[in-house]
């Protein structure tokens, strides 16, 4: 697990976009797993900039989003479909047929979830999975207590998540109570994971994710078992980490070795 501590949200966004661009330069038909939420917006802006100014090419990229609220249509302004097109896809040269986002309105959710899992496999599996983290330590919408081997399915959101996400809705009552989310087993199969966190309100979850026990209580802690994970956190989000100095030192040493 590589932990990179940066100054602030802007630097986190630039660093994350650089990692995505590097992977894309190495593999044009990269399969990206994507997250929504405030954390990822800055990184998407940086990627748009790289596309417009440096010609970063998304024409062969395939994307799979982590989750979607149940009951929201793709054109609902708070749906994750809308978020992705508004914040990224409308501004880069991705092919619409290469974009996969769970559907919030489906007749047979189980069949849809199985199809989604199958589609990830057919596209060759996820090369790089982008993740944010919830205050309750969730990745995707895998709330505390989720099975560590779970697959794409419907999850009931915790009160804390509903509360946090109510900032995007007019009223708290409008926040959907369920979401379709990739499972922890699904996320674990990505070849590489990149988790981002910014702000003091994420500090406790970040600490539990990186330095706590691996436990369904903090589903992000499962990343400790993954062979290739990069975590980019800003100073505020890193403030509770016990081994902060070591992570900084290890990054400096790695730069010298030029191993990354």
> 161 with 134: CB under 8 angstroms?
yes
Characterise 38 by phi-psi region: left (phi > 0), alpha (psi -120 to 50), beta (else).
alpha
Residues 67-86 binding ligand F6R (CB under 6 A) are: 67
From 43-51, 95-103, 126-134, 183-191, give the range in contact with ligand F6R by CB under 6 A.
Answer: 126-134
Considering the complex, what minimum distance in angstroms separates the CB of residue 83 from ligand F6R?
Answer: 8
* Pairing state between β 153-156 and 192-197: unpaired
Residue with tokens 């479909």: 81
Residues 149-168 binding ligand F6R (CB under 6 A) are: none
Q: Helix, strand, coil proportions of the chain in percent (round to 5)? A: 45, 20, 40
Burial zone of 237 (CB within 10 Å; 0-12 exposed, 13-18 middle, 19+ buried): buried
Residue with tokens 């989720």: 146
- From the list 35, 51, 206, the residue with the least C-alpha distance to 132 is 35
For the range 122-125, what are the long-range contacts, defined as Cβ-Cβ under 8 Å and sequence gap of 24 or more?
A: 123/31, 123/62, 123/64, 124/31, 125/31, 125/189, 125/190, 125/191
- Pick between residue 140 and residue 176 the one whose CB is nearest to ligand F6R: 140
Compute how many residues bind ligand F6R; rule: CB under 6 A.
13
From 43-51, 137-145, 210-218, 230-238, give the range in contact with ligand F6R by CB under 6 A.
Answer: 137-145
- Pick between residue 192 and residue 251 the one whose CB is nearest to ligand F6R: 192
Among 62, 138, 207, 208, binds ligand F6R (CB under 6 A): 138
- From the list 253, 130, 250, 145, the residue with the least C-alpha distance to 195 is 130
Known catalytic residue at 138: yes
Any contact of residue 140 with ligand F6R (CB under 6 A)?
Answer: yes
> 230 with 192: CB under 8 angstroms?
yes
Catalytic residue among 68, 81, 117, 138: 138
Catalytic residue among 46, 68, 117, 143: 143
Any contact of residue 139 with ligand F6R (CB under 6 A)?
Answer: yes
Known catalytic residue at 136: yes
> 62 with 98: CB under 8 angstroms?
yes
Among 66, 113, 210, 223, binds ligand F6R (CB under 6 A): 66
Any contact of residue 134 with ligand F6R (CB under 6 A)?
Answer: yes
- Pick between residue 37 and residue 176 the one whose CB is nearest to ligand F6R: 37
Catalytic residue among 68, 117, 127, 136: 136
Residues 25-44 binding ligand F6R (CB under 6 A) are: 35-39
What positions carry a catalytic annotation? 67, 136, 138, 143
Residues that bind ligand F6R (CB under 6 A): 35-39, 66-67, 132-134, 138-140
């Amino acid at each position: 697990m590589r932990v990179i501590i940066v100054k602030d949200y802007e630097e986190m966004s630039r660093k994350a976009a650089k990692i995505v661009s590097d992977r894309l330069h190495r593999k044009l038909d990269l399969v990206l797993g994507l997250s929504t939420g405030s954390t990822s917006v800055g990184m998407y802006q940086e990627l748009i900039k790289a596309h417009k100014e440096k010609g970063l090419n998304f024409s062969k990229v395939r994307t799979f989003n982590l989750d979607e609220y149940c009951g929201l249509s793709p054109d609902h302004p708070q749906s994750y479909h809308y978020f992705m097109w508004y914040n990224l896809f409308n501004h880069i040269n991705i092919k619409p047929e290469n974009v996969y986002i769970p559907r919030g309105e489906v007749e047979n959710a189980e069949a849809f979830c199985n199809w989604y899992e199958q589609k990830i496999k057919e596209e060759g599996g996820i090369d790089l999975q982008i993740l944010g983290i919830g205050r309750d330590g969730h990745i995707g919408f895998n709330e505390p207590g989720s099975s560590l081997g779970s697959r794409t399915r419907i999850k009931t959101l915790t009160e804390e998540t509903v509360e946090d996400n109510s900032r995007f809705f007019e009223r708290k009552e409008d926040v959907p109570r369920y979401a379709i989310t990739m499972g922890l087993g699904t996320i674990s199969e990505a070849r590489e994971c990149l988790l981002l966190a910014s702000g003091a309100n994420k500090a406790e979850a970040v600490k539990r994710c990186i330095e706590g026990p691996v436990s369904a209580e903090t589903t992000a802690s499962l990343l400790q078992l993954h062979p290739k994970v990069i975590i980019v956190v800003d100073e505020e989000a890193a403030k509770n980490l016990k081994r902060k100095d070591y992570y900084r030192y290890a990054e400096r040493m790695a730069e010298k070795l030029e191993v990354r």
